[in-house]
Amino acid sequence: MRMTHLLLSAVIAITLAGCAYHPARIEPVPGIIIDDDVWYGHDHDDWEHRKEWEKDRKEWEKDRREWEKEQHKEWRERQKERRKWEKERWKKN
């Protein structure tokens, strides 16, 4: 009787241990990554490229200011043409 009880306990323990193992649920990538220790190559050299970025930014700002001046100049020309057109129209009436 004692042997049967011991054998039955061993079978139950092995069966329950087998239930806890699910090979289909084991994934190579964990669901939650706390710290992935990924090193991005661009992180360390930001300070090296800062001068280039500043130069590009200044160049972009210069181009933008020139574009705005051109836009303003065109707007003034259109405004003058419109005023001229309105004066001519006013004289006709």
pLDDT in tens, 1-39: 778 888 888 878 777 665 555 555 666 666 666 666 666
Number of domains in the chain: 1
- How far apart are alpha carbons 8 and 29 in whole angstroms? 38
User: 72 in a domain, yes or no?
Assistant: yes
pTM: 0.42
Q: Which amino acid is at 4?
A: T
Please report the pLDDT score of residue 37 as a whole number: 63
User: 6 in a domain, yes or no?
Assistant: no
Average pLDDT over residues 53-59: 93
User: 18 in a domain, yes or no?
Assistant: no
The distance of Cα 14 from the centroid of its chain, to the nearest Å, equals: 49
User: 7 in a domain, yes or no?
Assistant: no
Q: What is the span of the domain harbouring residue 74? A: 57-93
The token duo for 78 is 């259109």
The token duo for 20 is 């806890």
